[in-house]
Chain A
């Protein structure tokens, strides 16, 4: 592995297509998404359920299980293509280079093993060190995620921790082998707001301390707005808008992004009707032709139901929007 520069490209996803082979033919869950992430950068992937944001996260470290497969495109991590690696080569990257944090901390920890055993196991899978050294490392990481009296905690089982503490432990485990990138799939959805604030603060602190990249997959625009530098909005398996978080939030261009932001309750308009997007997200088996958002779009024209708009730059080069209305 080459030593990365401080602003070099950490991860690049190029035109990735994920299909699920089913009896009736292939279902396309992810339809040609591309994005890149620099060292130490934080990206938010936003969308409603069924948009394909979790599949996008899983596909980066090739966690797509059968009947899903990568039909097209590639994932480059530190300049190296990882979408075609063998299981063993991939396993090294999964622990050391990229790590994942999932939504439900109770489902990710083994309930019948102590935290210590699970952490030592993870360290020893990637490093040749003794149990004592590994345990010392585990204590160190637990301290880093602000768990009080970590030495005592190592001998406890997952059920002895609260939801917020468990998520901290998961993050500590993800940090064990000093990854360059963490993919967090709805890390705070199961938690209360005060705990959510703590966990997001922790992510920010760790990212800046270790110059670590973060891909935050969530449905919560406000969380993305507070924590990330770049964001991509997904709809029915595609990215419909992408750009610097502040700009996308302040001045959304795609009608779907505009609708999502307008649907959030705003302090200024208390008690009035919210702006709603009519209808629901299409299911994968019946994605409409053309722009998949056109049946719900108030600005749709004839062309929208025929041709699929490309993700194209508008204004600055960093802003990409897939909408016919914004393209000549």
Chain B
């Protein structure tokens, strides 16, 4: 949704200089290795998120796009508190929430909900839908009477295009699209302000994807929800986003208004990514080809994470990590070439 009125508001959820590192070195013995006649102990670190900062305003959709392994799901999980960041801060409004204990976190959990990718894995197969939806409600609103709870359940069921009859059934009785509606109902039932949607439609068929996207757009309009929408389908992202953050190997390389980004991508990686989108009624030509493959995020070299595949890369890209900088049109780009002017930003 592109609502100009929201652009000046303070962010609802924001992250500042977020870092998330996973230690995958295993036990002590796995860390030991024999190198040049000496026994050495080395840790294997995966830098899943490196220095990511952004804010999500009330009622907007911020999409995070990137190829698999770029850290977009980890980012979503860190924002909502499923992962602890190694450094950096997560704010809800002006409250810093990443340092909170689980108990202190409770009121914020109600306001921030999540919808997962696989509706087959995210619903407990042994619980009836009524139980799945009632549990968060009873947990966050213990004062509600049974009758009030029932009303809320039926109301939310209708809102997601379901049927109150669904409540007494088990998850396996539903199709993928119906299950995703139930997942969304479970997120909506506690009346959140912010939803992290991690690839909510990529497991669904085309005609069902449109149904679920419409449902999400409707819910946003009715409740003024803010979404952090994680996806790899760029045409869907283009359709629903207010702003888009492009991630590559754990860093944000470009963050811009959706319209600006798709009309005029600046970062070399964004250009390559966007030109790879297949379009209806076109023939394959003019794709920006990338050299090589996405490197593993294990023990990343210094410098710009994209330099090994970038056709513009110079010495500085191999040595220095580029910081995000704000351009004239308000977008943020992390690229030495654009900052120093040897990559032309006009299209």
A binds B: yes
> CB-nearest residue of chain B relative to A223?
B278
| Most chain B CB within a 10 A radius of its CB, from A196, A246, A260, A270 | A270
List residues of chain B with CB within 8 A of the CB of A269.
Answer: 239
B46 within 8 A of A: no
Q: Contact: B238 with A277, CB < 8 Å?
A: no
Q: Contact: B280 with A261, CB < 8 Å?
A: yes
List residues of chain B with CB within 8 A of the CB of A265.
Answer: 213, 235-236, 238-240
B177 within 8 A of A: yes
A204 vs B258: C-alpha distance when bound (angstroms): 31
Which residues 209-251 in B have Cβ within 8 Å of A in the complex? 209-211, 213-214, 217-218, 232, 234-236, 238-240
Q: Contact: B210 with A275, CB < 8 Å?
A: yes
A200 vs B234: C-alpha distance when bound (angstroms): 17
Q: Contact: A222 with B279, CB < 8 Å?
A: yes
Which residues 226-282 in A have Cβ within 8 Å of B in the complex? 226-227, 246, 249-250, 259-261, 263-267, 269-271, 273-278, 280-281
List residues of chain A with CB within 8 A of the CB of B211.
Answer: 276, 278
List residues of chain A with CB within 8 A of the CB of B234.
Answer: 193
A269 vs B259: C-alpha distance when bound (angstroms): 12
Q: Contact: B282 with A270, CB < 8 Å?
A: no
- Using C-beta atoms within 8 Å of the partner chain, give the interface range for chain B: 35 or more
Identify B280's interface contact among A164, A194, A221, A281, CB under 8 A: A221
Contacts A194-B273, A227-B284 given; does A221 touch B235 at CB 8 Å = no
Q: Contact: A226 with B235, CB < 8 Å?
A: no
Say how far A245's CB is from chain B's closest CB, in angstroms. Answer: 9
Which residues 195-209 in A have Cβ within 8 Å of B in the complex? 195-198, 200-201, 204
| Most chain B CB within a 10 A radius of its CB, from A162, A194, A270, A274 | A194
B205 within 8 A of A: yes
Q: Contact: A264 with B276, CB < 8 Å?
A: no
> CB-nearest residue of chain B relative to A261?
B280
Say how far B58's CB is from chain A's closest CB, in angstroms. Answer: 17
By secondary structure, the A interface counts as: helix
Contacts A201-B284, A271-B239 given; does A263 touch B210 at CB 8 Å = yes
Contacts A194-B67, A225-B282, A270-B258 given; does A48 touch B293 at CB 8 Å = no
Q: Contact: B2 with A267, CB < 8 Å?
A: no
B262 within 8 A of A: yes
Q: Contact: B280 with A192, CB < 8 Å?
A: no
Say how far B256's CB is from chain A's closest CB, in angstroms. Answer: 14
A64 within 8 A of B: no
Say how far B142's CB is from chain A's closest CB, in angstroms. Answer: 37
Identify A280's interface contact among B2, B175, B273, CB under 8 A: B175
B283 within 8 A of A: yes
B170 within 8 A of A: no
B12 within 8 A of A: no
B287 within 8 A of A: yes
- Using C-beta atoms within 8 Å of the partner chain, give the interface range for chain A: 35 or more
B206 within 8 A of A: yes
Q: Contact: A274 with B213, CB < 8 Å?
A: yes
Q: Contact: A260 with B67, CB < 8 Å?
A: no
A165 within 8 A of B: yes
Q: B185-218: contact bitstring with A at CB < 8 Å (1 yes, 0 no)?
A: 0000000000000000000011111110110011
Q: A167-204: contact bitstring with B at CB < 8 Å (1 yes, 0 no)?
A: 00000000000000000000000001111111011001
A192 vs B68: C-alpha distance when bound (angstroms): 7
> CB-nearest residue of chain B relative to A278?
B211
A5 vs B278: C-alpha distance when bound (angstroms): 33
Q: Contact: B206 with A260, CB < 8 Å?
A: yes
B277 within 8 A of A: yes
B21 within 8 A of A: no
B97 within 8 A of A: no
A74 within 8 A of B: no
List residues of chain B with CB within 8 A of the CB of A281.
Answer: 205, 207
B169 within 8 A of A: no
List residues of chain A with CB within 8 A of the CB of B238.
Answer: 265, 267, 270
List residues of chain B with CB within 8 A of the CB of A249.
Answer: 280-281
A226 vs B235: C-alpha distance when bound (angstroms): 15
List residues of chain B with CB within 8 A of the CB of A266.
Answer: 239
Q: Contact: A259 with B278, CB < 8 Å?
A: no
B289 within 8 A of A: yes
Q: Contact: A270 with B214, CB < 8 Å?
A: no
Say how far A209's CB is from chain B's closest CB, in angstroms. Answer: 15
Q: Contact: B290 with A194, CB < 8 Å?
A: yes
Q: Contact: B293 with A197, CB < 8 Å?
A: no
Q: Contact: A225 with B214, CB < 8 Å?
A: no
Q: Contact: A264 with B280, CB < 8 Å?
A: yes
> CB-nearest residue of chain B relative to A267?
B238
Say how far A62's CB is from chain B's closest CB, in angstroms. Answer: 28
A219 within 8 A of B: yes
24 A–B contact pairs at CB < 8 A? A165-B293, A195-B293, A197-B278, A219-B205, A219-B206, A222-B279, A222-B280, A226-B282, A246-B281, A249-B280, A260-B206, A260-B207, A261-B280, A264-B206, A264-B280, A266-B239, A267-B262, A270-B258, A270-B259, A271-B1, A271-B240, A274-B214, A277-B207, A277-B210
Known: A265-B213, A277-B207. 13 other contacts (CB 8 A): A193-B276, A197-B276, A221-B206, A222-B279, A223-B278, A260-B207, A264-B235, A273-B214, A275-B210, A280-B175, A280-B205, A281-B205, A281-B207
Using a CB–CB cutoff of 8 Å, the interface residues on chain A facing chain B are 48-49, 162, 164-165, 192-198, 200-201, 204, 219-223, 225-227, 246, 249-250, 259-261, 263-267, 269-271, 273-278, 280-281
